[in-house]
Every structure is written in structure tokens, then in C-alpha cells.
Amino acid sequence: MARQKYPIKHWSYSSLMSYLRNPLAWYKRYVEHVYDTPSTPAGIVGRAGHVALQHFYAGLGKPAAIELGADYLRGVPDFEVNFGVHTGVRAQAAKRAAMLDEYYQAVGFYLARPPRYKVLGIEVASTVSVPGLLLPIKAISDLVVESKGNPGAIDIVDHKFVDSFSPLKEDKPLFVLQALFNYYTIGDLYKKPVKRFILQECKKRKNKDGKSQMRRYLLSYDELGEDFLVFERLINDATKDISTRTVYLPNPSDMFEGKNSFEVYRMNL
């Protein structure tokens, strides 16, 4: 049987970021499909928020949507939570209660005055082969909506629950990469011009100065220009790299999976 040319079938934004940050953690998750790394409390709260917004934008009332998100959070088993220093039973129970409180506060901030759209799709997953790319790409778009002021065109909306607002100037390369994954997949699926990537951030902790808990970032695809070429080059360079790489090294300084990947490397697994 011929050896598969590439160890993965497609790239996603999360898998590409994982590979650039920590090759061994990437190999474990995306090639060997081992998903035993616990999620951070912040990540779980964020996913619960996404569940609530998914149901809200599908037409469910705010209270019911909020409770479905809370049900998701409660249903995450303890072994999937990275409790950090909270090691005892009582400490972990207290942390779970704090996560639930944080969730209710954050989603309450978001739904106090939720952005309104004419929604065409919710949690839209798609994989597409793009001319010029060596591997297909996959993305999940939180919302696909009609583009205001651009008849016949569509926008992509992404929700994020954060501890602090992102400095757009510093984080723009990350936003652009994510936006381009979504651009190609949604454009192929809907067969319409894709105009903008809208990032809606909700700050989970209440602002002491009373300012809005929401901040919106806009990326216009018409203005990205050279970024499309950089995206293609990065995808293809990463693809060529994984086709020849035989050793995957850990990144002990990776704040998310550094310790785990170094242990995997230390035990020669």
C-alpha cells in the first residue's frame, strides 16, 4: 500500500496555529488523533458562550439559549478541565462554580444588546480545495450573514469571549489568517462575494469604567491584497514541511501544551 503523501487531509486555522506553535503537540492531536489534553476553564466558558449564541441566532429566546450554554458547561467532565492549581475535590468544585458564574456574566453582557444580522448560516463547517494550495482547508464560521450595504454579498461573523480586548494592530496577522480560512470555505459554499470578516469580542470581566463590554473589529477582504499571497505561501510551506519531517520536537515554553508535549518527548512516545 502506497504511503500517504501528507500526514493530514486538510489544514484548519487551529491546526496550522498548533503546528507553528508546537509541532509535537500538533502531531499528537492532528495526526495520531489523541485528544487527551484538558481544556482551560476560559476555553470551556467560551465554548459554552458559543452554544448559547448558536441557539440565540437560530431563533431561540435569550433565557432558553443561555441555559443551553450552561447545560453544555455543566456537562463537561472534570477530566477534560485543566484545573491548574485547583487539585482537591472542594477546590475543583469551587472552580466549576466560578466558571459557571463567569459564563452567565459573559453571555449576559453579549446578549444585553446583541448585534443584529440577517443570518444565512450558523456554525457553518466546510472543507474546500483551493487552486494553488497543496492541501484542502477547513473552517467553521460562527455566522454567515447578509452584508449590510453590499447587495448580494455576505459577511462572516466570529464571536470571542475574552479576558481583555485584543490589540488589533498586534493581533492582525492572526485575525487575517483566520479570516482567510473562512473566506475560501464560505465563498465556495455560498457562491457569493464575501466582503467582510467581523470579529465580535465580548469582555468577560465587567469594565470598572462602565464602558461597553463589546468591541467589534472589521476586516475588509477587498483591502487584504498581498495577504492572500502570504496565506497561500504559508499554507504551502507548512504542507511541504510536514511531507518531509520525520522528527517532531516539543515547545516547552508553549503556554497551552508545552508541559504535555515535553513529557511525550521525554518518554520517547
Assign residue 128 the CATH number of its domain: 3.90.320.10
- Same domain, residue pair 72 and 162: no
Domain end, chosen from 79, 112, 145, is at 112
Give rounded-to-5 percent helix, strand, coil for the chain: 50, 20, 35
In a domain, 200, yes or no: yes
**Confidence at residue 142, expressed as pLDDT on a 0 to 100 scale:** 98
Answer yes or no: is pLDDT of 104 > 50: yes
In a domain, 137, yes or no: yes
**Confidence at residue 2, expressed as pLDDT on a 0 to 100 scale:** 39
For range 252-268, the mean pLDDT: 65
Cα–Cα distance list, 36 to 25, 68, 79 (Å):
11, 25, 9
Q: Tell me the pLDDT tens digit for each residue of 218-249.
A: 999 999 999 999 999 999 999 999 999 988 87
In a domain, 3, yes or no: no
Angle formed by the axes of helices 13-21 and 226-244, to 10°?
A: 60
Residue 135 φ then ψ, to 5°: -130, 150
Nearest to 194 by CA among 145, 234, 160, 158: 145
**Confidence at residue 167, expressed as pLDDT on a 0 to 100 scale:** 80
| Minimum mean pLDDT range among 36-40, 56-60, 190-194 | 36-40
For range 17-22, the mean pLDDT: 90
- Same domain, residue pair 228 and 181: yes
- Same domain, residue pair 162 and 202: yes
Q: Which helix (H) or strand (E) holds 201?
A: strand 194-203
For 98, the domain range is: 41-112
In a domain, 252, yes or no: no
**Confidence at residue 135, expressed as pLDDT on a 0 to 100 scale:** 97
Bridge partners of 196, per DSSP, are 155, 220
- What percent of the chain stands above pLDDT 70? 91
Answer yes or no: is pLDDT of 1 > 50: no
**Confidence at residue 145, expressed as pLDDT on a 0 to 100 scale:** 98
- Same domain, residue pair 93 and 200: no
Interstrand relation of 119-128 and 11-12 (parallel, antiparallel or unpaired): unpaired
Chain-wide mean pLDDT for the chain? 91
- Same domain, residue pair 127 and 54: no
d(CA 238, CA 248): 13
Residue type, 47: R
Alpha helices in the chain (DSSP H): 13-21, 23-26, 41-57, 62-75, 89-112, 168-190, 226-244, 258-266
Largest CA distance in the chain: 64
- Same domain, residue pair 123 and 230: yes
Report the number of distinct structural domains present in the chain.
Answer: 2
Answer yes or no: is pLDDT of 62 > 80: yes
**Confidence at residue 42, expressed as pLDDT on a 0 to 100 scale:** 94
- Same domain, residue pair 217 and 181: yes
- What residue has cell string 493530514? 8
Domain end, chosen from 59, 87, 112, is at 112
CB environment 112-147: b (16+ within 10 A), e (fewer): eeeeebeeebbebebebebeebbbbbbbbbbbbbbb
For range 65-84, the mean pLDDT: 95
Q: Which helix (H) or strand (E) holds 146?
A: strand 137-146
